[in-house]
Amino acid sequence: MNVPVILGLLGRLLIVYAGAMCIPLILAVFLGEWSIYSFLLAVIITGIPGLVLIRHAKADIKIGVREAFVAVAGAWILASLTGALPYWFANVVPTYIDAVFETVSGLTTTGASVINDVEVLPQSILLWRSLTHWLGGMGIIVLFIVLLPKTGMGSVLLFNAEVPGPTNDRVMPRIRDTATSLWKIYLIFTAICALLLWMAGMTFLDAINYAFATIATGGFSTKNTSIMYYDSLTIEMILTFFMILSGANFVIYLTVWRKKTMKAFRNTELMVYLLIITTATLAIAGSLWFNAGNSPGYSFRHALFQVATIMTTTGYASA
C-alpha cells in the first residue's frame, strides 16, 4: 500500500474541507457573531495538517484500489472529526462526542440531532450544520474528484469506492467530467430551491439552509418545530417538489443534461418511485379525509408532504 499517496489525498481533502469552513466563517464575520473564533480555529486546525500532508506527499498521484478505499474511509473519518470542531469550540454541544454525532448526522444526511434548541444558535453554526448535509448529500469524494489534479484511473477508483452498489456504465468513461456535471446539477437544484423559498417568505439565510438540507434529503432545520413553524402551503409544496426531485436517481438528470433528451424520464425506477409516492399519498389523504374528518385540501396537503419527506428520508415535519 502506498501510504504517501493516501496521505497526499487526505491532505488535499482537509484543504477543501477547511475551505468549506470559511463560508460560515465569512458569515460570522459579516454578522459579528461570537462564533468567529470557533470557525477560525477550526479552519487552522483542519487546514495546516492538510498543507503539511500535501508538502510531504508524492507529487505524482497514482492511486490503486487499496489506496482508493483507504483514502475514502479516511476522508469520511477526518471530515467527521474536523467538522465537529466548530460545534465544540462554540460550546453549542456539551461534549466533543456530541459534536462528532451532529457532524456525522449531517454528512450522512441522517438528520438526527443532539441540539435541543436550534433557534438560539448563531446563523454561522446553522449554516455549517446545513452545509454538512449538502456536502455529504452528493458526496465529499465526488466534489474532491472535481477539484483533484488529473489522476487517470485514480478518479474512477475513488468514485467506485465512494458510491455504493453497481455503477452505470454511462457515467464511467470520463469520471471527472461526470463528477463535475453532477455537482453542476446539484448546484442548480439548490439555487432554484433557495430562490423559490426566499420568494415564498423565508429569510434569505433560512432559504439557503433549507435548500441545502432539502436537496441533500437531510432534514436539518433552523426551527425547533421544523416546517410546521411556517404553516405555509407554498413553502410546503416547494419543499415537496424538491424532496421528490432529489430523492430520484441523479443519473437520470445527468443523462438529460448530457444528451438533451427527455427520454431518460421514462426510466422504470423513476416510474415505480413516483407510483409509490402517488399511491401512498392517495391512501393517506383518504384516511385523513374519511377517518379523521379533515377537509380534502388539508388531507392531501399533509399526506403528500409526509409521504415525500418519508420516502426521501428527509425527515421534515409539517404537523
145-183 pLDDT tens trace: 655 555 554 555 555 555 554 445 444 456 667 778 888
- 146 and 184 fall within a common domain: no
Domain count, the chain: 2
Q: Are residues 5 and 147 in the same domain?
A: yes
* Closest alpha carbon to 40 in 114, 99, 128, 102: 128
Q: Cα–Cα distance between 163 and 166 in angstroms, integer?
A: 8
Q: Are residues 132 and 185 in the same domain?
A: no
Whether this prediction's pTM lies above 0.85 is answered by yes
Task: Tell me which residue range forms the domain holding 52.
Answer: 1-164
Tell whether the torsion through CA atoms of 38, 41, 44 and 49 is positive or negative: negative
Q: What is the pLDDT of residues 204-213, one digit of tens each?
A: 999 999 999 9
Give percent of the chain with pLDDT exceeding 90.
62
Within this chain, do residues 112 and 250 fall inside the same structural domain, yes or no?
Answer: no
Q: Which residues of the chain have pLDDT under 70?
A: 57-62, 140-176
Cα 255 to Cα 127, 215, 242, 260: the distances in Å are 31, 19, 19, 8
